[in-house]
């Protein structure tokens, strides 16, 4: 039968699931020879069996706990409920994953109207004993009956000096409050106190479902999504709040805010009533041996757990007791620094370090600064040694290209040229050219645009010297390039009512523009002259863009740069579209390179977004040097969601309010959109085994999406510049996870070879 009560000395670290992390950690410390107050654990299994039946402990539960208490009586020579030498207990929750749950504790359990006097005599300090009783009543009222702390505080006020009369008054008032609001008097029977304490600190907890990659694989038992009661730790109270050479404190094995090496924390000696910033220094000066022991404990625990530790300790007459240990909560800065240092000290591996970085931490690290800290830089270098995916960036403007390079992007995976052409300085020329009646006029507009586009590309090639620069030809619905007809109609009305001479000319031009817009008008514009089909209506635009790319490339080559243009044809739906566009690219490239007498290697790729393109990827692959999967349009067209309307999460879970997935535009919908993508990739590679392929939508930096891309064998992921560091880490995490999964699978294999 699974154990329901375990003495601390019987526990092991492997029993974390049963004993909770606090209990298992203390058991390990005890066995390693550290001073830990004697105690026992009511296991998760015990709490489930004892505490969930009508809210009462069962008879066998009471019996097992009583024998564990008797064991503590033997060890301490004190007796639970005894009027002369009362044994007092601390009852704390011991969750299996301390970082998710709030801890609860009831201290001084075992005090009542009689035993409090025993404690007063024992300690020769009645105010102290009364104050312990007051604290027990307050915590009991709050935890057992849900009475707000504020009501107790109202009675107690701001009293700092322990005065017997005031304490007696507060104790009486607290008892009334408990009876009034809890409908039961505070139990004088210490056994009942203990039972209620155990039940109240072990709330039923739902173990979170795994979300991050680490949780998914490394800690599957801790993130099961099941409902479970927390284990409960019952320990002998250490008398640390009074007497000479006594006190309590909390230390961290490294600084929890900065991550700096060396023990940090605070200590309040019983002589000082308030916490002092230099309390720990005082302890070092006054009790050097004890301070050294604490340092040793920090080192021991950190080496054993491979994590920064938080230790709550008590000092009773110069004796050190480790009361509670847990994984320290750190700022992202501290988490990063300590992780890197732990690798340096040989306490964890580089892989461990990489697996530790959670997406939110990475985001915080990036928000804090636009440059990478030395620690993050190092971690990213380790990630690069491991990862297999190439991380590119979606970059339009040259300045962003510089940022992306600084963050470690290995090229540009998508430059949306429409973002360049729609800028305030260029858009008027674009519109003029579109609305022009004659070819001459249109050419004039394009001649103005060409040097501007060329300058953009020159800067991109320079920033990405040696790396691929994927430039997508204009990908816009036609209607976004023409002025709003309603605005023009209003203006026409105004001009018609005007009597001014010059208005007549203006009106004539306006009529022409409106007529041109009507000619270009289309129903369902997003499904008509968008993407490469725009090249059918206005081939001159693509001519100009391709010319600008190759003129910029030649200029870069002349300057000694290694230029790698990759021209991406937007939203290809059929292989024939790619054939036509490829001819155009080759034709213009031949012209420019011939004229300039230069050679430049380039690639022409297809953007696979429409489901039809995915289904015919094998045909498209024949004419493509690479495939770029645009997951935004792909998601819209596959799932029927608009990226502009999907403000709210579409999929979420109520498991402890943890969001599993927000929108499919933030995290790839692996089951649907992902499947189509994988199918297209397989088809494309069947045709061309070494076909380069990657994704470039907005949802690419999500770690689960990156793990998927790694699993199916994509070559690259292209994301926003500020997401590049996180993507590098996620790509390395994907490799580590895949390796571990492989190892696990092999462990489970049955060999048929003798
Ligand atoms: C996409 O559709 O995924 C994509 C990258 O293109 P855009 O967002 O420009 O439509
Ligand atoms: Mg798109």
- The parent domain of residue 546 ranges over 399-482+524-608
Most confident of 230-239, 438-447, 554-563, 720-729: 554-563
Asked whether residue 678 is assigned to any structural domain, the reply reads no
| Secondary structure string (H, E, C) spanning 188-255 | CCHHHHHHHHHHHHCCEEECCCCCCHHHHHCCCCCCCCCEEECEEEEEECCCCCCCCCCEEEEEEEEC
Tokens coding 387: 């990862």
Average model confidence (pLDDT) across the chain: 86
pLDDT of residue 701: 80
Pairing of strands 603-608, 564-572: parallel
Give the residue-averaged pLDDT of 583-610.
Answer: 96
| pLDDT tens string 604-646 | 999 999 888 999 999 999 999 999 999 888 788 877 777 776 5
Mark whether 588 and 602 lie in a shared domain.
Answer: yes
Claim to verify: residue 492 and residue 537 sit in the same structural domain: no
Instruction: Render pLDDT for 127-167 as a digit per residue (tens, 0 to 9).
Output: 999 999 999 999 999 999 999 999 999 998 877 777 899 99
CATH number at residue 320: 3.30.470.20
What is the model's pLDDT at position 433? Answer: 84
| Same domain for 87 and 69 | yes
> Quick one: 512 and 528 in the same domain?
no
Q: Does a structural domain hold residue 43?
A: yes
Which tokens is 104 given? 């609860």
The predicted-structure confidence for 662-688, as pLDDT tens digits, reads as follows: 577 777 888 888 999 999 999 999 999
**Distance of CA 179 from the midpoint of ligand 1 (Å):** 65
Look at residue 382 and tell me if it is in a domain. Answer: no
Query: Do 583 and 505 share a structural domain?
Result: no
Rounded CA-CA distance 540/530 in Å is: 15
Q: Which atom of ligand 1 is nearest to the CA of 636?
A: 2
Predicted confidence at residue 746, as pLDDT, reads 72
| pLDDT at 661 > cutoff 50 | no
Dihedral angle of Cα 596, 557, 605, 417, to the nearest 10 degrees: -90
CA-to-CA dists, residue 398 to 125, 401, 455, 493, 551, angstroms? 74, 5, 10, 43, 17
Same domain? 286 vs 301? yes
Where does a domain end: 211, 236, 261? 236
User: Is position 648 within any domain?
Assistant: no
Side-by-side strand order, sheet with 39-42: 5-7, 39-42, 231-236, 89-94, 105-109
Residues having CB closer than 6 A to ligand 1 are 414, 416, 475, 609, 630-633, 696-697
- Cα of 751 vs centre of ligand 1, distance in Å, is 47
Would 493 be classed as within a structural domain? yes
Render the burial of 334-354: b for 16+ CB within 10 Å, e for the rest. bbbbbbbbbbeeebbebbbbb
Give dist(CA 72, CA 81) in Å, integer. 13
**Contact assessment for residue 61 and residue 46, using Cβ atoms and an 8 Å cutoff:** yes
Q: Using one digit for the tens of pLDDT, what is the confidence trace for 458-494?
A: 999 999 999 999 999 988 766 777 778 888 888 888 8
Ligand 1, residue 643: give the atom nearest the CA. Answer: 8
Is 502 in the same domain as 563? no
Tell me, rounded to whole angstroms, the distance of Cα 312 from its chain centroid. 28
Ligand 1 centroid to 485 CA: how many Å? 27
Could you say which of 590, 608, 626 is where a domain stops? 608
Q: Model pTM greater than 0.85?
A: no
Site to probe by mutation for ligand 1, drawn from 696, 701, 702, 719 as the one with most ligand atoms within 8 Å of Cβ, is 696
From 272, 273, 274, 254, select the one nearest 264 (Cα to Cα). Answer: 254
Ligand number nearest to the C-alpha of 630: 1
Residue 579 domain flag: yes
> Are 475 and 494 part of one and the same domain?
no
Q: Which ligand sits closest to the CA of 417?
A: 1
Mutate to test the pocket of ligand 1, among 420, 632, 716 (most ligand atoms within 8 A of CB): 632
Give me ligand 1 centre to Cα 695, in Å. Answer: 10
For residue 472, give the ligand nearest its CA: 1
Counting atoms of ligand 1 from 1, which one is nearest the CA of 394? 5
Residues 451 and 348: their CA atoms lie apart, in Å, by 54
- Give 224's pLDDT tier (boundaries 50, 70, 90): very low
Last residue of a domain, one of 236, 264, 298: 236
Q: How many domains does the chain have?
A: 4
Specify the residue for token string 């490829």: 582
Q: What is the CATH number of the domain that holds 577?
A: 3.20.20.60
SS3 69: helix
Report the separation in Å between the CA atom of 629 and the middle of ligand 2, taken as the mean of its atom positions.
9
Residue closest by Cα to atom 9 of ligand 1:
416
417 CA to centre of ligand 2 in angstroms: 12
| Whether 141 and 63 share a structural domain | yes
Q: Please report how the helices 190-201 and 59-76 are oriented relative to each other, as an axis angle in degrees rounded to 10.
A: 110
Contact of 191 with 221, CB cutoff 8 Å? no
Residues forming beta bridges with residue 565, ordered by sequence position: 469
Answer whether residue 659 is part of any domain.
Answer: no
Element (H, E) at 128: helix 126-145
Q: What is the pLDDT of residue 687?
A: 96
User: Looking at the structure, do residues 84 and 136 belong to the same domain, yes or no?
Assistant: yes
Same domain, 316 and 406: no
Q: Using CA atoms, how far apart are residues 449 and 256, in angstroms rounded to an integer? A: 55
Label the pairing between strands 105-109 and 692-695: unpaired
Rounded distance from Cα 395 to ligand 1 centre (Å)? 12
Residue 628 CA: nearest ligand 1 atom is 5
- Better pLDDT: 437 or 610: 610
Among 77-91, 163-177, 270-284, 425-439, whose mean pLDDT is lowest?
Answer: 270-284
Residue minimizing CA distance to atom 10 of ligand 1: 633
Query: Quick check: is 206 in a domain?
Result: yes
Closest atom, ligand 1, to C-alpha of 609: 2
Q: Write the CATH number for 96.
A: 3.30.1490.20
Average pLDDT for residues 93-102, to the nearest whole number? 64
Same domain as 259, residue 187 = no
Q: Probe ligand 1: pick from 395, 416, 680, max atoms within 8 Å of CB?
A: 416
* Backbone phi and psi for residue 131, each to the nearest 5 degrees, phi listed first: -65, -35
Confidence of residue 516 (pLDDT cuts 50, 70, 90): confident
């Amino acid at each position: 039968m699974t154990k329901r009560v375990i003495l601390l000395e019987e526990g092991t670290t492997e029993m974390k699931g049963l004993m909770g992390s606090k209990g298992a950690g203390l058991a390990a410390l005890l066995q390693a020879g550290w001073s830990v107050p004697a105690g026992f654990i009511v296991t998760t299994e015990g709490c489930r069996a004892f505490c969930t039946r009508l809210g009462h402990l069962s008879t066998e539960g009471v019996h097992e706990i009583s024998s564990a208490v008797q064991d503590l009586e033997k060890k301490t020579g004190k007796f639970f409920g005894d009027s002369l030498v009362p044994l007092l207990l601390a009852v704390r929750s011991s969750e299996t994953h301390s970082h998710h749950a709030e801890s609860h504790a009831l201290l001084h359990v075992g005090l009542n109207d009689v035993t409090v006097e025993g404690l007063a005599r024992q300690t020769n300090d009645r105010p102290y004993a009364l104050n312990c009783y007051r604290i027990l009543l307050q915590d009991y009222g709050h935890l057992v009956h849900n009475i707000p702390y504020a009501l107790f505080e109202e009675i107690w006020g701001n009293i700092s000096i322990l005065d017997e009369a005031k304490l007696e008054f507060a104790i009486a008032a607290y008892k009334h409050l408990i009876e009034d609001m809890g409908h039961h008097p505070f139990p004088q029977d210490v056994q009942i106190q203990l039972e209620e304490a155990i039940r109240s600190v072990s709330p039923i907890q739902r173990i979170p479902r795994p979300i991050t990659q680490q949780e998914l694989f490394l800690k599957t038992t801790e993130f099961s999504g099941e409902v479970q009661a927390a284990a409960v730790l019952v320990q002998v109270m250490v008398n640390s709040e009074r007497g000479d050479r006594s006190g309590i404190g909390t230390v961290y094995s490294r600084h929890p805010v900065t991550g700096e090496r060396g023990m940090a924390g605070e200590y309040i000696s019983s002589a000082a009533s308030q916490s002092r910033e230099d309390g720990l220094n005082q302890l070092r000066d006054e009790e050097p041996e004890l301070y050294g022991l604490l340092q040793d404990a920090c080192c021991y625990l950190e080496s054993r757990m491979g994590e920064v530790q938080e230790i709550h300790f008590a000092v009773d007459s110069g004796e050190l007791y480790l009361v509670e240990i847990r994984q320290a909560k750190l700022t992202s800065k501290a988490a990063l620094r300590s992780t890197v240092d732990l690798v340096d000290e040989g306490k964890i591996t580089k892989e461990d370090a990489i697996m530790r970085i959670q997406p939110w931490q990475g985001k915080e690290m990036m928000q804090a600064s636009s440059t990478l800290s030395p620690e993050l830089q190092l971690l990213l270098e380790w990630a690069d040694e491991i990862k297999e995916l190439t991380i590119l960036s979606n970059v339009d403007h040259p300045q962003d290209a510089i940022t992306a390079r600084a963050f470690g992007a290995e090229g540009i995976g998508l430059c949306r040229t429409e973002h360049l052409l729609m800028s305030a300085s260029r858009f008027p020329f674009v519109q003029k050219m579109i609305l022009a009646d004659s070819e001459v006029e249109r050419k004039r507009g394009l001649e103005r645009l060409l040097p501007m586009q060329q300058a953009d590309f020159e800067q991109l090639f320079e920033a990405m010297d040696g790396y691929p620069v994927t430039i997508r030809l204009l990908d816009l619905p036609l209607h976004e390039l023409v002025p709003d007809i309603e605005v023009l109609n209003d203006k026409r009305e105004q001009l018609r009512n005007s009597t001014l001479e010059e208005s007549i000319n203006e009106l004539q031009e306006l009529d022409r523009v409106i007529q041109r817009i009507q000619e270009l008008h289309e129903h369902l514009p997003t499904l008509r002259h968008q993407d490469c089909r725009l090249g059918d209506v206005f081939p001159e635009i693509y001519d100009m863009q391709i010319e600008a790319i190759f003129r910029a490339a030649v200029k870069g080559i002349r300057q000694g740069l290694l230029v790698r243009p990759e021209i991406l044809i937007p939203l290809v739906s059929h292989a024939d579209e790619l054939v036509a566009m490829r001819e155009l690219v080759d034709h213009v490239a031949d012209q420019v390179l011939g004229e300039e007498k230069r050679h430049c290697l380039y690639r022409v790729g297809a953007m696979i977004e429409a489901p039809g393109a995915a289904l015919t990827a094998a045909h498209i692959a024949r004419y493509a040097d690479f495939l770029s999967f645009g997951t935004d349009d792909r998601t819209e067209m596959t799932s029927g969601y608009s990226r502009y309307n999907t403000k709210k999460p579409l999929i979420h879970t109520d498991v402890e309010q943890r969001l599993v997935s927000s929108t499919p535009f933030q995290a790839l919908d692996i089951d649907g959109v992902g499947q189509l993508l994988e199918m297209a990739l397989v088809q494309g590679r069947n045709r061309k085994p070494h076909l380069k392929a990657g994704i470039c939508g907005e949802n690419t930096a999500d770690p689960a999406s990156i793990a998927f891309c790694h699993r199916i064998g994509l070559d690259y992921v292209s994301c926003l510049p500020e997401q590049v560091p996180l993507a590098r880490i996620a790509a390395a995490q994907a490799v580590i996870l895949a390796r571990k999964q492989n190892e696990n699978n092999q462990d489970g294999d049955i060999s048929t070879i003798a």
